[in-house]
Amino acid sequence: MMKEYFFYLFLFCQCIALNAQDFTGSLYASYEKYQEPSLTKRRVKHEDLLPLISGLKKKTDVEVNKVGQSIEGRDLYLLSLGSGETDVFLWSQMHGDESTATLAIFDILNFFDSKDFKDEKSLLLSNLRIHFLPMLNPDGAENFSRRNRLGIDINRDALRLQSPESKTLKRVRDSLEADFGFNLHDQSRYYNANLTEKPATISYLAPAYNYDKDVNLVRGNAMKIIVLMNEVLQRYVPGQVGRYNDDFEPRAFGDNIQKWGTSTILIESGGTYDDREKQRIRKLNFVSILTALHAIANESYIGIDKDRYFEIPNNDRKLFDLKLKGLTHELLGDRYILDVGFYRYEVDNEAHSDFYLASGIGDVGDLSTFFGYKSIDVSGYVAEPAKVYPQKVKNLEEAGKLDHMNLIAQGYGYLRVEEIPDSLTHAEFPMHVISTDYEPGFELKVGSNPTFYLSKEGKKTHYVINGFIIDLEKAEAEEMTFRNSLIYR
C-alpha cells in the first residue's frame, strides 16, 4: 500500500509539473497580447503610470488604494486582486532607475484582465490575494536615478525608516503579513553567470535573515520558488541565470522582510544581447512571476528540493560591451600586447526620457578572465589613431551630408565643425565632431574614449569609435545604426 501511495503521489507531482510547463510555454508564446503598449522604454515616470492606475480603478476586480506619498508628493498605490487566503506582495522600483519589473507588472495586470487562461486565473485568484506596489520611488524615477529625493538608498532604510517611501513599504508589509514577497530590481548589464561568458540576464536571491545565512521554512520556501523560476528561464535563456550575493545586510528591506516572516524572492533584471531597453527581460519577468504565482496557488512548490537553489551559478561581474583580445599597441617605440575592454555608458538627456551612449575603456592588460557581449580576437592587429579630416565643415547639417564611410576608409575619424550648438552632445553619424581648436589625442588607458583603427600588414581592417567596432570590409549594418559619435569642444 505504501508503495502504491508514493507511486500515485509521484504521478500527481509529475502531472502538476507538466501542467506548469504547458502554462509557462503558453504564457511565453502569447505574451505580446498582454504587453502594455503605452510602456515601451525603461525611463518610465510616475505620470506614465497614472492613466493605467486610473483605468484599474474602474475595474471591479482590482482594488486600488493610495497607501502613501513620496517626499515630493507623488502618490504611492497598492493594486490588489484575488480572494484567496495566501497573500503575495510584489513591489518594484524602490530604486528609481530600476524599472523593468514595473513594466512587467502592468503586463501581468493586463493578463488578469484578459479572457484567456480561465482555469489558471481561477486557480490564482481563488487561492491568492495578490498585491502590487509598482513604483515605490517615483521621485527617483523622475530623474531615472537610484536614490530618492532625500538622497538615500531606500533599500538601506529598513531599520531607521527615515523616508516616507520606506515607511510605506514597512506599513504595507506589516498590514498584509504577506506569505510571499517579490522584491523587484534591476542589476548592471555587466554581471555574468560565474565563470561563463553569458550575461546574468536574470539573477535571483533568497535573502539571508541573519549573518549565519541560516535556512528556515520561510527562506526555504523562497529558495524553492527560485528553483522553479530558474527552471523556467533555462528554457528561454539557458545559462543566463545567476544567484545574487546573499551576505546579510541588516539595513536592507529584503533581508528584514525575510526575517519578519515573508518568504522573500529578489529578482534582478540584468542584461542580454542587443536589448538596451530590456524588453525581452521584461517578458521573462512576466513569465517567471506568473509561473511562480501559479506554483504558490497550487502549492506545487512544496515538493521542490530547496538545495537545488545552490546549483544556480553565482553572479560575477566580468563582462564588457566590447572586448578586444591580443591587440598590438605601439608606445614610445616599443610594441605591447594588450586586451582592451569597453563599457558603453548611458548618458541621459535633460528630461531623463532618453539617452545616448558614451563609451570608455574599462580596463587594459591581461583580461583573459573577462568576457564581452562582443569579443574579438585581434591578435596580429596594430592600433592606429584616427586622423582629423583637414577640411573644416560649416555646420552639422553639412557634416551629415558627407560620405562618412569614404572618409573613414581614408583613416579619418574626426570632423572639424565651425558651428556647434551648445546644447548638442552627440551626432548620429560614425565620426566624432570637434570644434575648430580642439586637438584629439590617442591613449589606450582606463577612462579614455579613443577612436582608432585596427590594421594588419599595413591595411586598415576595422574602425573603433565610442566603444563600437566596424568591420571596414563588411561595413556591418548592425554597427551603422547607432547614435554613437561624440562632440568635443
What pLDDT digit, counting tens, does each position of 51-87 carry? 999 999 988 899 999 999 999 999 999 999 999 999 9
User: How would you classify the pairing of strands 180-186 and 86-92?
Assistant: parallel
Residue 252 CA neighbour count, 13 Å, CB half: 17
Same domain, 133 and 280: yes
Residues 368 and 480 in one domain: yes
| Residue-level pLDDT at 7 | 42
Q: Pairing state of beta strands 426-427 and 468-471?
A: unpaired
Within a domain: residue 4? no
Other residues' Cβ atoms within 10 Å of the Cβ of residue 403:
8
What is the C-alpha separation between 410 and 406, in angstroms, rounded?
A: 7
Do 357 and 259 sit in the same domain of this protein? no
Question: Considering only CA atoms, which of 357, 383, 377, 351 is closest in space to residue 460?
Answer: 383
Question: What SS3 state is found at 297?
Answer: helix
In the listed set 316, 346, 361, which residue is the last one of a domain according to the structure?
316
Beta bridge partners of 465: 468
Q: Which residues is 415 bridged to in the sheet?
A: 433
Domain of residue 468 covers: 334-488
Asked if 247 and 344 sit in the same domain, the reply is: no
What does each C-alpha distance from 122 to 240, 273, 326 come to in angstroms?
32, 36, 58
Q: Is 324 among the domain residues?
A: no
How many domains are there within the chain?
Answer: 2
Cell matching residue 250: 541588516
Domain boundary among 289, 316, 343: 316
Query: 383-398: b or e for each residue (b if 16 or more CB lie within 10 Å)?
Result: bebbebbeeebeebee
Q: Are residues 259 and 299 in the same domain?
A: yes
Residues 247 and 387 in one domain: no
Q: What is the dihedral of CA 425, 431, 433, 436, to 10 degrees?
A: 170
Judge whether 2 lies within some domain.
Answer: no
Residue 259 and residue 314 in contact, taking contact as beta carbons nearer than 8 Å: no
Of 287, 316, 345, the one marking the end of a domain is: 316
| Cα Rg of the chain, angstroms | 26
SS3 at position 55: helix
Distance CA 101, CA 92 (A): 6
Which has the closest alpha carbon to 271: 374, 186, 155, 180? 186
Q: Are 289 and 224 in contact (CB under 8 A)?
A: no
Q: What is the pLDDT of residue 8?
A: 42
Do residues 139 and 149 make contact, with C-beta atoms less than 8 angstroms apart? yes
Is residue 322 in a domain?
A: no
List all residues 6 or more positions away from 8 whose beta carbon is below 8 Å from its beta carbon. none
* Whole-number pLDDT of residue 10: 44
**Could you tell me if residue 187 is inside a domain?**
yes
Residues 375 and 455 in one domain: yes
DSSP-assigned states of every residue in 436-478: TT--------TT----EEEEETTEEEEEEETTEEEETTT--GG
The count of C-alpha atoms lying within 13 angstroms of the C-alpha of 282, restricted to the half-sphere facing its C-beta, is 25
Q: What is the CATH number for 280?
A: 3.40.630.10
**In-domain check, residue 327:** no
pLDDT at 383: 97
- Indicate whether 339 and 431 sit together in one domain: yes
> pLDDT tens, position by position, for the chain (489 residues)?
545 544 444 444 444 444 667 899 999 999 999 999 999 999 999 999 999 999 999 888 999 999 999 999 999 999 999 999 999 999 999 999 999 999 999 999 999 999 999 999 999 999 999 999 999 999 999 999 999 999 999 999 999 999 999 999 999 999 999 999 999 999 999 999 999 999 999 999 999 999 999 999 999 999 999 999 999 999 999 999 999 999 999 999 999 999 999 999 999 999 999 899 999 999 999 999 999 999 999 999 999 999 999 999 999 999 999 999 999 999 999 999 999 999 999 999 999 999 999 999 999 999 999 999 999 999 999 999 999 999 999 999 999 999 999 999 999 999 999 999 999 999 989 999 999 999 999 999 999 998 999 999 999 999 999 999 999 988 654 455 556 789 999
Let me know if residue 3 belongs to a domain.
Answer: no
Same-domain check for residues 269 and 383: no
The amino acid present at 395, given as its one-letter code, is N
Asked, for residue 113, whether it belongs to a domain, the answer is: yes
Q: Which of 188, 90, 177, 73 lies closest to 135 in space, CA to CA? A: 90
Q: How far is 154 from 137, CA to CA, in rounded Å?
A: 8
Residue 25: CB partners within 8 Å, gap ≥ 6?
235
Q: How far apart are CA 24 and CA 117, in angstroms?
A: 11
Q: Which helix (H) or strand (E) holds 80?
A: strand 75-81
- How confident is the model at residue 474, as a pLDDT? 81
Q: Would you mind telling me the total number of residues written for the chain in this entry?
A: 489
Per-residue pLDDT of 369-397, as tens digits, reads 999 999 999 999 999 999 999 999 999 99
Do 258 and 156 lie in one domain? The reply is yes
Based on the domain organization, do 352 and 434 belong to the same domain?
yes
Question: Residue 336: enclosing H or E segment and its boundaries?
Answer: strand 334-348
Verify that 263 and 409 share a domain, yes or no: no
